[in-house]
């Protein structure tokens, strides 16, 4: 698998039919035209708001430029949703090249210190259905990068049982890397290099993903029937959310997501993007084109590429393969971070990866649309800086207008040159701007209201409309908190602080109020100061900035309640924030997984060395997974662990004495595990 270069010539893709080519050009022209019209109108109105005095000051020009960037960003989102709305409502059928037999497909699930029982339940549900529907065409590979000793033992305890019980016509395999270099991208590349040649396609899932067998089969059949297709990305639906924040994301994804997805498909065509999971890739195409380069320099801007997915899609497009969205496949699911704090942690990693993409923007051979995907990924975080700068600049202008005496002698004439504003036009522009911001939500609401059957799956018109209003209100309160958090993240990255690789919480979002207060103290203080300053300057300005200051002042409370299951489940009981997947009976794939969870969680797998050496079958499985130890090397943790085992009188005493690094050394060494087993049997560990 050759490593790709940043700069390389582009291979010509297979030519499109003339009608499809015209359709692609027209769709992109329409998107550009609507975006330019909306943005141009907003910028012109803002210019007129500030141009009452016969010209703009330097600070007003700065404000106008920042406004143009920020309004252009939300205008693009609004334009995309407007153009996607007909497709979301009418759902036009598109012809696909579909083979009768699915491509031989490996289902890859990268694992990094995850809860293994949830993965096992999902895999068992999928493998059972696939074994019946297409025996011998699929297999599951659990690709572990786990580096915590307890998590390693737990996943082996669960996955060894899963492998033993898996159907022979859809087997399950497990592999753990000793060194997780290049993170998830390196994990996938390692599988491609070692086993990929035997499989025509690979379906990449996250540890919190699940797909219905109908969607998996359709993906594999489309891949088999369309030799020019390199990657097919589904639109995952968020499920199983229980906390308040999780349910907000789940509802927004389900309500507004179809309009968003139809908007993407409207202009992406065969140059879509990859989101890193819930997608099928042609193994040969990926192997030829998408092993990521290692960027020169040190992290955060150099080193391995953190956000691998966008770059892999761009490299496959450069190699001539099509990358498409499958908006019609509806049983592709994932889970959402349970709390605000978890999203901020995830954004820290994603933001660093997206900012690295700036290194690829000038890369030779990339298509214009691929560059747009990269630029949009960067802007998804940089927009927070522009918004913050816009607020600060506007505040300075307000202070200047309210407190500065006019200088009548700056220029000859009868009128002062300090900033003045057209208040009536400003109010009109504010209303228009808010309409542009909420357009995707309004169209999502309307797309459901127009379909009575679907509307009842959301709880009926009143419950559904109330859900939209609650989601919109809470999203508006969370938005300024995320703005400051993302601005702080960008500052961290610019200062050279690497994000590292922390595992994600999946279900439990609980956080103590004291912890929320500590984490968001600076948001609270900033919001309080901003509110006080605006109130002192002008009470009208205070109310204008209230949408920002309210969220910041309430940040600790918002963060604390965001992870509460009690609030989320209480809202579910009264049909607020309900989604169609939660109707009676639910989605078969989700129901099948839920039915298996209790089986996998009882008994709870133990994650300690004592449990490992006490279970002969598990110990044999563990030893069979270990690669040979490197000859002649010196591992300090291994030496110290050996000495501690030698000097201990019981395994419980020894494991209490071992550090996490030393416990990992024991798990990697057959000799040290032999000593541990001897101690567990009441014998002195052999020297």
pLDDT digits (tens, 9 = 90+) for 639-674: 999 999 999 888 989 888 999 999 999 999 999 999
pLDDT digits (tens, 9 = 90+) for 438-469: 999 999 999 999 999 999 999 999 999 999 99
Q: Which pLDDT does position 507 carry in this prediction?
A: 67
Q: Which pLDDT does position 500 carry in this prediction?
A: 64
Looking at residues 236-249, what average pLDDT do you find?
96
DSSP at 230: E
Q: Which pLDDT does position 508 carry in this prediction?
A: 67
Q: CB within 8 A of 45, min separation 6: which ones?
A: 425, 428, 429, 432
Among 33-42, 190-199, 345-354, 551-560, the least confident range: 345-354
- For residue 218, CA distances in Å to 44, 60, 221 come to 48, 55, 5
Residue 567 included in any domain? no
Nearest CA among 318, 239, 275, 320 for reference residue 577? 239
Looking at residues 386-398, what average pLDDT do you find?
92
Q: Phi and psi (nearest 5°) for 251?
A: -65, -45
Residue 219 included in any domain? no
pLDDT digits (tens, 9 = 90+) for 252-282: 999 999 999 999 999 999 999 999 999 999 9
Domain range for 625: 619-680
β-bridge mates for residue 139, sequence order? 106
Q: CB within 8 A of 412, min separation 6: which ones?
A: none
β-bridge mates for residue 280, sequence order? 203, 232
* Residue 401 scores a pLDDT above 80: no
Angle subtended at Cα 651 by Cα 646 and Cα 654, rounded to the nearest 5 degrees: 60
Q: Which pLDDT does position 426 carry in this prediction?
A: 83
pLDDT digits (tens, 9 = 90+) for 492-525: 998 887 766 666 766 666 789 999 999 999 999 9
Q: Which pLDDT does position 78 carry in this prediction?
A: 97
Residue 326 included in any domain? no
* Residue 212 scores a pLDDT above 80: yes
Could you tell me the two tokens for 129? 């259905």
Query: How much is the mean pLDDT over the chain?
Result: 91
The answer to whether the CB of 618 falls within 8 A of the CB of 169 is no
Residue 658 included in any domain? yes
DSSP at 511: -
Tell me if residue 503 falls in helix, strand or coil.
Answer: coil
pLDDT digits (tens, 9 = 90+) for 79-128: 999 999 999 998 877 778 889 889 999 999 999 999 999 999 999 999 99
Q: Which pLDDT does position 405 carry in this prediction?
A: 57
* Residue 323 scores a pLDDT above 90: yes
Looking at residues 672-682, what average pLDDT do you find?
89
* Residue 529 scores a pLDDT above 70: yes
Give the dihedral sign, CA 322/327/332/337.
Answer: positive
* Residue 193 scores a pLDDT above 90: yes
* Residue 490 scores a pLDDT above 60: yes
Domain count, the chain: 1
DSSP at 107: E
* Residue 422 scores a pLDDT above 80: no
Q: CB within 8 A of 253, min separation 6: which ones?
A: 237, 238, 336
Q: Phi and psi (nearest 5°) for 143?
A: -105, 100
* Residue 409 scores a pLDDT above 80: no
Pick the more confident residue, 680 or 407. 680
* Residue 317 scores a pLDDT above 70: yes
Determine the distance from the C-alpha atom of residue 22 to the mean position of all C-alpha atoms in its chain, rounded to a whole number: 33
Share of the chain above pLDDT 90, in %: 76
- Quick one: pLDDT band at residue 596, thresholds 50, 70, 90? very high
10 Å CB burial of residue 36 (0-12, 13-18, 19+) is middle
Q: Which pLDDT does position 21 carry in this prediction?
A: 84
Q: CB within 8 A of 560, min separation 6: which ones?
A: 511, 512, 513, 516
Residue 192 included in any domain? no
Q: Which pLDDT does position 649 carry in this prediction?
A: 87
Q: Which pLDDT does position 210 carry in this prediction?
A: 97
Looking at residues 604-630, what average pLDDT do you find?
89
Give me the half-sphere count of Cα atoms (radius 13 Å) on the Cβ side of residue 619.
18
Q: Which pLDDT does position 359 carry in this prediction?
A: 95
DSSP letter string, 279-293: EEEEHHHHHHH-BPP
- For residue 425, CA distances in Å to 42, 49, 52, 129, 422 come to 11, 6, 11, 61, 6
Q: Which pLDDT does position 421 carry in this prediction?
A: 65
Looking at residues 11-38, what average pLDDT do you find?
88
Q: Which pLDDT does position 254 carry in this prediction?
A: 97
Q: Which pLDDT does position 380 carry in this prediction?
A: 96
Q: What is the pTM of this model?
A: 0.94
Looking at residues 51-77, what average pLDDT do you find?
92
Looking at residues 179-208, what average pLDDT do you find?
96
CB atoms within 10 A of CB 434: 12
Residue 631 included in any domain? yes
Residue 629 included in any domain? yes
Q: Which pLDDT does position 55 carry in this prediction?
A: 82
Share of the chain above pLDDT 70, in %: 94
Pick the more confident residue, 583 or 188. 188
When computed from its CA atoms, the radius of gyration of the chain, rounded to whole angstroms, is: 28
- For residue 562, CA distances in Å to 342, 407, 557 come to 10, 50, 8
Q: Which pLDDT does position 684 carry in this prediction?
A: 56
Alpha-carbon gap, residue 330 to 635, rounded angstroms: 50
Q: CB within 8 A of 513, min separation 6: which ones?
A: 556, 560
């Amino acid at each position: 698998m050759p490593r790709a270069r940043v700069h390389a010539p582009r291979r010509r893709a297979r030519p499109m039919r003339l009608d499809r080519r015209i359709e692609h050009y027209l769709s992109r022209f329409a998107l550009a035209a609507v975006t330019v019209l909306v943005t141009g109108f907003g910028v012109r109105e803002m210019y007129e708001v500030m141009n009452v005095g016969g010209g703009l000051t330097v600070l007003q020009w700065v404000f106008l430029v920042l406004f143009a960037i920020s309004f252009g960003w939300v205008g693009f989102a609004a334009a995309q949703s407007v153009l996607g709305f007909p497709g979301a409502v009418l759902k036009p059928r598109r012809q696909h090249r579909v083979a009768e037999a699915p491509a031989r497909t490996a289902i890859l699930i990268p694992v990094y210190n995850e809860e293994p029982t949830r993965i096992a339940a999902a895999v068992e549900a999928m493998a059972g259905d696939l074994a019946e529907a297409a025996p011998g065409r699929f297999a599951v590979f659990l690709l572990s990068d786990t580096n915590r000793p307890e998590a390693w033992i737990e996943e082996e305890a669960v996955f060894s049982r899963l492998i033993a019980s898996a159907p022979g016509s859809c087997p399950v395999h497990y592999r753990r890397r000793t060194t997780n270099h290049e993170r998830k991208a390196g994990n996938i590349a390692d599988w491609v290099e070692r086993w990929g040649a035997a499989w025509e396609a690979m379906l990449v899932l996250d540890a919190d993903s699940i797909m219905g067998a109908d969607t998996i089969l359709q993906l594999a059949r489309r891949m088999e029937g369309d030799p020019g297709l390199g990657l097919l990305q589904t639109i995952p639906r968020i499920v199983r959310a229980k906390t308040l924040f999780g349910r907000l994301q789940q509802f927004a994804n389900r309500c507004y997501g179809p309009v968003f997805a139809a908007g993407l498909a409207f202009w992406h065509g065969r140059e879509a993007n990859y989101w890193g999971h819930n997608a099928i890739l042609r193994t040969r195409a990926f192997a030829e084109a998408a092993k990521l380069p290692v960027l020169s320099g040190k992290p955060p801007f150099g080193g391995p590429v953190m956000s691998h997915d966008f770059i892999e899609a761009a490299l496959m497009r450069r190699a001539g393969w099509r990358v498409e969205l499958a908006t019609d496949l509806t049983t592709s699911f994932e889970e959402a971070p349970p709390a605000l704090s978890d999203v901020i942690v995830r954004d820290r990693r994603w933001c660093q990866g997206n900012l690295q993409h700036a290194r690829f923007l000038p890369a030779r051979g990339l298509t214009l649309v691929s560059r747009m995907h990269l630029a949009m990924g960067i802007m998804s975080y940089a927009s927070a800086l522009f918004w913050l700068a816009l607020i600060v600049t506007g505040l300075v202008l307000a202070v200047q207008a309210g407190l500065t005496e006019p200088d009548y002698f700056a220029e000859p004439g009868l009128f002062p040159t300090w900033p003045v504003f057209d208040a009536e036009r400003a109010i009109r522009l504010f209303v228009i701007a808010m309409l542009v911001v909420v357009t995707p939500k309004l169209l999502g609401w309307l797309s459901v209201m127009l379909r009575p059957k679907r509307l009842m799956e959301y709880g009926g018109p009143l419950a559904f409309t109330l859900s939209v209003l609650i989601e919109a209100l809470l999203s508006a309160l969370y938005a300024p908190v995320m703005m400051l958090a993302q601005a702080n993240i960008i500052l961290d990255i610019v200062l050279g602080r690497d994000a590292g690789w922390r595992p994600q919480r999946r279900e439990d979002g609980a956080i103590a109020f004291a912890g929320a207060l500590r984490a968001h103290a600076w948001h609270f203080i900033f919001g309080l100061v901003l509110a006080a300053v605006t109130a002192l300057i002008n009470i009208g300005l205070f109310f204008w900035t209230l949408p920002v200051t309210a969220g910041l002042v309430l940040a600790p409370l918002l963060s604390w309640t965001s992870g509460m299951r009690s609030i989320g489940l209480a809202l579910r009981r009264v049909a607020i924030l309900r989604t169609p997947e939660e109707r009676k009976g639910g989605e078969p794939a989700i129901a099948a997984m839920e039915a298996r969870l209790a089986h996998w969680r009882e008994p709870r797998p133990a994650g300690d060395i004592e449990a490992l050496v006490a279970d002969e079958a598990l110990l044999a499985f563990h030893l069979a997974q270990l690669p040979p130890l490197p000859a002649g090397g010196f591992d300090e943790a291994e030496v110290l662990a050996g000495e501690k085992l030698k000097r201990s009188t019981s395994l419980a005493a020894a494991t209490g004495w071992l550090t996490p690094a030393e416990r990992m050394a024991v798990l990697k060494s057959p000799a040290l595990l032999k000593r541990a087993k001897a101690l567990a049997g009441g014998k002195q560990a052999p020297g």
